């Protein structure tokens, strides 16, 4: 009985309130205007000062650096030519190069599977910056948009290794060279460590535009259009 009485009372209160509001709205009474003035009004958001907005360019965790520089010479055959190409990389880097094997057999090129056809070397640190500087100097600090990848890395090639300042040796000859630069930011190692690997956040990853901007600022480089 108590619950029925409460429900009846609430229903009567709701009906009276509804009819009273409709009557006031129809007549446009001062009470309705007073209710409207008492209603909370959303305040416009104040625009933040530009100085208060965090500047990401000054964040040291966003700075780019060279993680590694990969140098590659592909001869296309094993034997004496490949051995001489390895000597070129050894003279340039001062490190022991690594031979690369063919993954497939290509009869038209005379390549057999697991045959050593190329040699490469990975350089890091100050030595990588020095060799990259010499390579870009040969290219006159000019690269194309196609030289940059979506993941924020870039590569290029030179036709003669003696342009890097290596003395010409008739017993070795002249070889072309491929440069590939891998850029990174502080914190990228979480994705490459052996234990408890993590993921690099989307906003912290590198893009093609980031790599091009870094190249232009650090080396005063010139980016040409894509080849047609």
| CB neighbour list of residue 168: distance below 8 Å, 6 or more residues apart | 162, 174
Q: Give the Cα separation of 83 and 173 in Å (integer).
A: 12
Average pLDDT over residues 124-138: 94
CB 100 within 8 A of CB 117: yes
Above 60 in pLDDT, residue 49?
no
Of 144 and 21, the one with more pLDDT:
144
Banded model confidence at residue 109, pLDDT cuts 50, 70, 90: confident
**Angle at CA of residue 179, ends 162 and 73, nearest 5°:** 65
Which of 116, 112, 104, 113 has its CA nearest to residue 78? 116
List of domains in the chain: 64-224 (3.30.1440.10)
- Between helices 2-27 and 30-38, what is the axis angle to 10°? 110
163-205 pLDDT tens trace: 998 899 899 999 999 999 999 999 888 888 899 989 999 999 9
Sheet holding 177-184, edge to edge: 98-101, 116-123, 65-74, 177-184, 154-158
The proportion of the chain whose per-residue pLDDT surpasses 70, expressed as a percent, equals 81
Query: What pLDDT score does 12 carry?
Result: 78
């Amino acid at each position: 009985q108590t619950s029925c009485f409460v429900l009846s009372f609430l229903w009567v209160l709701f009906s009276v309130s509804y009819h009273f509001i409709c009557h006031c709205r129809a007549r446009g009474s001062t009470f309705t205007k007073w209710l409207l003035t008492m209603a909370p009004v959303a305040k416009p958001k104040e625009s933040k000062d530009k100085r208060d907005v965090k500047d990401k360019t000054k964040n040291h965790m966003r700075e780019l650096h060279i993680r590694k520089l990969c140098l590659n010479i592909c001869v296309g055959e094993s034997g004496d030519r490949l051995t001489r190409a390895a000597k070129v990389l050894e003279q340039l880097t001062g490190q022991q190069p690594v031979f690369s094997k063919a993954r497939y057999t290509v009869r038209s090129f005379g390549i057999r599977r697991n045959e050593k056809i190329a040699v490469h070397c990975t350089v890091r640190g100050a030595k990588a910056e020095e060799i990259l500087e010499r390579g870009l100097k040969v290219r006159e600090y000019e690269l194309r948009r196609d030289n940059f990848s979506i993941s924020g890395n870039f590569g290029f090639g030179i036709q003669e290794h003696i342009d890097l300042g290596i003395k010409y040796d008739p017993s070795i000859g002249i070889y072309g060279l491929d440069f590939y630069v891998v850029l990174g930011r502080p914190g990228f190692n979480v994705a490459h460590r052996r234990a408890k690997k993590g993921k690099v956040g989307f906003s912290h990853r590198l893009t093609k535009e980031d790599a091009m901007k870094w190249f232009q600022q650090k080396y005063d480089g010139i980016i040409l259009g894509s080849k047609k």
